[in-house]
Amino acid sequence: MKITENGIVVKNKNIAPNIYDLTIRLPQISALAKCGQFVDVYPDNGANLLARPISICEINGDKLRLVFQVVGAGTRLFSVLSEGQSIRVLGPCGNGYALTEGNKFILAGGGIGVPPLLETAKNLVDKGEVEVFLGFRSGSFLTEDFEKLGVKVHIATDDGSVGFKGNVVDLMKSLDAKADIIYSCGPKIMLKFLAEYAEKRGITAYVSMEERMACGIGACVGCVVKIKDGDGYVHKKVCKDGPVFDSREVVWQ
């Protein structure tokens, strides 16, 4: 069930280069939201009509925390929102993570795929051991938020500025990381190699795809991915059928 709600900005802060931490009071959407879902946020200038999909980072009572990257005109408008401003939001959108039973869980995120894993970690800490692998080009963000949950955090950076020099999957390989379930979000190339890592070790992995979305509600067919269907495949929409899929179902080539 998706609804449109006019939310009120509670906080908006720059936490890393081009990365913003936005909290919006959205009582109705917050009550329905689950980890791994996203919302469509509408620019309020009349020129940029299409909503921008942003993953839910945290659900805190009647508020949603959204951590996003400025990549264009729409998200640039969101970066200058101030406390008390009203903003139109549609959500919750998509299918989130299926929190299945297990004793140990790995969360693996790359870049702006890191934020949705925070609410996921909050939902898993009482279910079993949680180990988090976070990858960035340079520096890091949200790592302290994960550490406050009491989970073990590993960081990889492309330039070696923080933690392991390399990508998340290489870091996992170096530690021979094992788990019952992997929950991940990040660039498609990262998810592809993570899916291979999981398959070789017999680990069930859920991947949240970051395909570009135009409408965010399944109308434009701009975010399709190939999903296995018998000996062939079908096209499914990331915004409506995902963004989370079982990694074994995705056609990665």
- CATH architecture for the domain at 104-210: 3-Layer(aba) Sandwich (3.40)
User: To which H or E segment does residue 155 belong?
Assistant: strand 152-157
Residue 48 has pLDDT above 70, yes or no: no
Length of the chain: 253
Mean pLDDT, the chain, integer: 92
Average pLDDT estimate for 160-176? 97
User: pTM for the complete prediction?
Assistant: 0.93
Give the tens place of pLDDT for each residue, 105-122: 999 999 999 999 999 999
Q: What end-to-end distance do the CA atoms of the chain give, in Å?
A: 33
3-class DSSP assignment, residue 3: strand
What's the DSSP call for residue 142? S
Query: Binning pLDDT at 50, 70 and 90, where does residue 44 land?
Result: confident
Residue 27 main-chain phi, psi, to 5 deg: -55, -45
pLDDT at residue number 214: 55
From residue 182, alpha-carbon distances to 5, 157, 247 in Å are 33, 20, 10
Q: What class has domain 3-93?
A: mainly beta
- Domain residue spans of the chain: 3-93, 104-210
